[in-house]
Amino acid sequence: MNILKSIGFITLGSSLLLGAPQQAKQDKQFQNVIKIGKKSSLLLLKTLGSNMKKNMKAGGPMKALDFCSQEAYTLTEIVNKKLPKGVSIKRISTKYRNPVNQPQGSEKEVLASLEKLQSLHVILPKQIVQKVDAQTYKYYKPLVINKQVCLKCHGDITNAALKRAIDERYPQDKAKHYKMGDLRGAIVVTIDKFVK
């Protein structure tokens, strides 16, 4: 009987040792996903943020609206071209202004989970990593309204001309009535797990 227990422990121990390299490989891939996700989302935030700031300074919310409606999507595509092969980036929101930013598939569930956490007054994570399939990960960076200037176009809009311009450009607009600290959406970086 003791021999059987010993054989069982040896077999279990061997299985654990054989599994260790696989776990180390998965941990390395996971850390790589986080690294790529952070770097990619930061590039998009800096690109859009610096242009938004420049336009806001040049002509206030109306000029910023011009930038968003005419250039933000194009700049996102330019950022996509700078990313490594197998990596793509986009912005999503359940309260989107531009329908191109509508979440797809499991992205809706991730945003719903973030919204639920916020409604329970839980501090949101800096990122979420989702394993989509054997080859693909999605890195989510939650976007929170953390600057008062964001509310000029996304809060309770009091400027009649700005409100009219938004309504004309985005007839199905859902991206208003936000308050400071509200979840605005997320940046999603899709990463092939074999990208180095």
Count of residues for the chain? 196
Task: Give the start-to-end residue ranges of the domains of the chain.
Answer: 24-192
Handedness of CA 117, 122, 127, 129 (dihedral sign): negative
13-51 pLDDT, tens digit per residue, is 444 444 455 666 678 888 999 999 999 999 999 999 999
For residue 143, which of 82, 69, 90 has the smallest C-alpha distance?
A: 90
Q: Quick check: 179 and 155 in contact, CB under 8 A?
A: yes
80-114 pLDDT, tens digit per residue, is 999 999 999 999 999 999 999 999 999 999 999 99
Cross-strand bridge partners of residue 186: 92, 142
**Cα Rg of the chain (Å, integer):** 22
Confidence category of residue 53, pLDDT binned at 50, 70, 90: very high
Confidence category of residue 194, pLDDT binned at 50, 70, 90: low
